[in-house]
Amino acid sequence: MAEVTVFQAINMDRNQRQLIDTAAMDWLTSPAAGVMRKPLEREAAESGQVTSIVRYAAGTFFPAHNHPAGEEILVLSGTFEDEHGCYPAGSYFRNPPGSSHSPGSSEGCELLVKLNMFQRDDLQPVNIDTTTQPWLPGLVAGLSVMPLHQFNGEQTALVRWQPGTHFSRHSHTGGEEIYVIDGVFEDEHGRYGAGSWLRSPDNSQHQPFSEQGCTIWVKTGHLAHLPG
């Protein structure tokens, strides 16, 4: 008897807060040899909107593919590459709708990947090496910000918290999504170590701080502008 797999969407209700400790998740196989992944939110089995942690084994290379509604990547470790260049850990790039490439990794890498969530008119390619880009002063002492991208209400940045930094209570118009790169990020709801992924809905509120210090990737406003 043939095996039937029924796909279920994962964490696609953006009105629900999501908190995932990706460091504690098991790697799942993918249709591509050498590629493992940890799905955080997923609309369909192998298409549509997806956020996941992806690991390429050393020596993994793919044929060309395109990105119907864009691809956004933060390289977490190792070096990702395609025919346009090499992207070491700390690289942030955006391949807009209509772009294509042949990706791979000679040495292996881990990535935070968001697929098919670009606003229709957001066609600007982005390629930033966050290890060399300058940090700007944040809104309170101890906070530094590195803007990565903004478009029509959606903003993406790295934010670095010195130990003992406290931020004001604020609300998230259009939602907020955070990936903790290092250290421990905190708010009144919990403590979030490296590898934590947090998605907070439109108009949610919190008062964040970091006693230990941390670096986080933050996207705000996007939940109000998702395609489809």
Which residues form the interface with Fe ion (CB under 5 A)? 71, 176
Structure-token pair, residue 108: 């292996």
The tokens for 37 are 């992944």
Nearer to Fe ion by Cβ, of 71 and 154: the residue is 71
Nearest CA to 222 out of 123, 151, 139 is that of 151
Strands 196-200 and 143-151: unpaired
Q: How far is the CB of 4 from Fe ion (least distance, A)?
A: 30
CB of 3 to Fe ion, least distance (A): 29
* Residue 15 near residue 202, CB atoms below 8 Å: yes
Residue 142: both structure tokens together: 């101890």
Q: How far is the CB of 67 from Fe ion (least distance, A)?
A: 6
Q: Which is nearer to Fe ion, 122 or 176 (CB)?
A: 176
Query: Which residue, 69 or 194, has its beta carbon nearer to Fe ion?
Result: 69
* Residue nearer to Fe ion on the CB measure, 60 or 132: 60
3-state secondary structure of 223: helix
- Closest residue to Fe ion, Cβ-based? 71
Smallest separation (angstroms) from Fe ion to the CB of 109:
13
Contact by Cβ (8 Å): 50, 42: yes
